[in-house]
Every structure is written in C-alpha cells, then in structure tokens.
Structure 1
C-alpha cells in the first residue's frame, strides 16, 4: 500500500443513543469527543441514532401492526364480496 493516502484505521467507540449501548469497533471514522474504555485507553466516541442493539429487525421486536392492518383490510373487503357471491 502507498503511504499517506489511506485514512487512519483504528479502534473507535460507537454509542447508540437510543439504548445507551457502546461498541468498540475498528473504523476510519474520527471524532473530537473521546471516552476512556474498559481497558483504560482513550478512544474517539461516535454517537449513533440506531444500531443493531436497538433496531427492531435485529432485536426481534419488529412491528407487524402495519402488515396485520393491511391483511385485515384485504380480508374484510373480499369477505364482503365472497358473502355476496354465496347469497346469489
């Protein structure tokens, strides 16, 4: 690799602000905020709105209300039609 053309790739702490979970991951992201980690070293701190710790798809708390509502609407529309055809 050529020197001085690649971004610095080092450990960074990502904090999910919605649930307060912290992750130590290697990244090229930088930040002026720092945090002292469990190992006693200081790392840059990046705030996230959502991560795998709070995202509904990854936590298993995915909302199905929208889909259930659509299915109920579909069934109610076609139930009326099927009742009309049976009466005739």
Structure 2
C-alpha cells in the first residue's frame, strides 16, 4: 500500500451484528468507545443492526410479502373506475 494515504485512525475494528451475534474483523476509521475480545485480542467494536450474515438477500431466507392482498386492495379502489 502507498504510505501516507490513509487517515491516522485507520485501525482494525470488529463489527458485531446485533441480530445474530456474528462478528468480523476489518480495518475502519469508525469512531467507537466500546471494545470486545475477538480471537484473543481486544479491539474496538462497532455494533450494526444487520450485516451480510443476517440480511435476507445473502442468507436466502426472504420474508413472505402478502402481494395478493395488495393487488386486491388496489383493484377494489381503482379497478371499478370507468374508462372513457
């Protein structure tokens, strides 16, 4: 890597997915006051609501959306409109 192009606070940080507890280590400049023990070392931790380990797109577990009810609701409102 080129020297002198990264900010001074570019350091290893653990990101913790709060929905399932998974953690991963990467480098970041994110500000945090919390720390966590990860693989025998203590790192700053950033808590996130969702990550690739819990997002439905990456896990393949999608939520069922009631599209039929939405279509019926639309047709009841606008399907009876007369075309002129």
Q: Give your verdict on TM over 0.5.
A: yes
The answer for the alignment partner of 1:61 in structure 2 is 61
Task: Provide TM-score, normalisation by structure 2.
Answer: 0.66
Please list every run of at least 4 consecutive aligned residues from structure 1 whose deviation after the TM superposition is greater than 2 angstroms: 63-71
Kindly tell me the number of residue pairs found equivalent between the two proteins. 74
Q: Distance in 2 between matches of 1:68 and 1:59?
A: 25
Q: Distance in 2 between matches of 1:42 and 1:51?
A: 21
Show structure 2 runs of 5+ residues with no match. Answer: 76-84
What's the CA shift for 1:61? 0.8
Q: What SS does the corresponding residue of 2:61 show, helix, strand or coil? A: coil
Q: What SS does the corresponding residue of 1:65 show, helix, strand or coil? A: coil
What's the CA shift for 1:35? 1.1
Q: Distance in 2 between matches of 1:25 and 1:50?
A: 16
Q: Deviations over 1:16-50 (max 9, x none)?
A: 11011111111111211111211x22100111111
Show structure 1 runs of 5+ residues with no match. Answer: 78-88
What's the CA shift for 1:62? 1.7
Over alpha carbons, which structure has the higher Rg? Answer: 1
